[in-house]
Amino acid sequence: MKECHPWHLEPRAAFSDTEGVKESLSPVTGWCRAAKRLTRQALTLTAFGLLTAFCLGCSQEESATETPPVSGPVEEAPQIAGDGAAVPTLLTRGQEAAQTLVANLGTQLKAAMEAGGPMAAVGVCKNIAMPLTDATSESFEGLSIRRTSLKVRNPQNAPDALDRQVLERLQAQAAAGKLSPDGFMETPASGGAPRFYKPLIVQELCLNCHGSHETMKPELVTLLEKEYAEDQAHGYQAGDFRGVIRVEFEAE
């Protein structure tokens, strides 16, 4: 008789199940056949278990691929208009409005500096800056733009209560060397209209009119004192925090 081995299947014993064969089997042969049947069942169960695990594993892998876990802050998703176009967020609109004003004012000041130096640039700040700011606001829908600072040259640019809170916070960040030039949204605690603030940093060109009086030409100092009797916007150095451009949105 062949040796009974778990991996050896006797053809006749495995596939023949007649009554005559059953009666002719010795106790040892019967035990061997039973062992073989148990082995086949174990193999079947094992294969089924492996297949099930494989399928579950694939299912979990596909699920993980379709919906990956989210970690960290989630950015605001843009809204979609009826025509399928993305609706800009308030932050995006604020950035665009502030950048437009900077570009418009920069163009005027650069032209004035090239034409007549700092004396001509003072004329732009005095006579053109405010109307140009209003015109830039009107070119956008549902918002208003203004400039403000803790040290204003034109009293019309004086900060309100929320502006002052923001400016003092940014000034403290600048003193600690942690000021970011990136714009950000600010919402009043009372639930008023949301605002976008863009910090302004003093550049070398700005020092022509906003630097120390000691480094300016006497005629320029005289002109500034004449045009702005309460001028505070001087004594800066390059890299200082100057103020902000504020974009206020209509409350919904």
- Can you give the pLDDT of all 252 residues of the chain as single tens digits? 443 333 333 333 333 343 443 444 344 344 445 444 544 444 333 333 333 333 333 333 333 333 333 333 333 444 444 444 555 799 999 999 999 999 999 999 999 999 999 999 999 999 999 999 999 999 999 999 999 999 999 999 999 999 999 999 999 999 999 999 999 999 888 888 999 999 999 999 899 999 999 999 999 999 999 999 999 999 999 999 999 999 999 986
Q: Which two tokens stand for residue 32?
A: 């061997």
CA distance 31 to 201: 92
pLDDT for the residue numbered 138: 96
Is 106 exposed, middle or buried, given 0-12, 13-18 or 19+ CB atoms closer than 10 A? exposed
Residues in a beta bridge with 199:
244
**What is the residue whose two structure tokens read 């409350």?**
251
**What is the residue whose two structure tokens read 């400016």?**
167
Helical ranges in the chain per DSSP H: 11-15, 19-24, 27-66, 90-127, 129-138, 161-175, 207-210, 218-227
**What is the residue whose two structure tokens read 């998703």?**
77
Overall pTM surpassing 0.85 (yes/no): no
The number of C-alpha atoms within 13 Å of 161 and in the hemisphere containing its C-beta is 5
CA distance 140 to 137: 6
pLDDT for the residue numbered 37: 52
CA distance 113 to 74: 45
Residues in a beta bridge with 244:
148, 199
Is 147 exposed, middle or buried, given 0-12, 13-18 or 19+ CB atoms closer than 10 A? buried
Q: How far is CA 213 from CA 4, 113, 122, 182, 233, in A?
A: 108, 18, 14, 30, 11
Q: How far is CA 206 from CA 48, 229, 236, 239, 240, in A?
A: 77, 20, 9, 10, 11
Cβ atoms of residues 187 and 90 within 8 Å = no
pLDDT for the residue numbered 147: 97
pLDDT for the residue numbered 33: 52
pLDDT for the residue numbered 15: 37
pLDDT for the residue numbered 192: 86
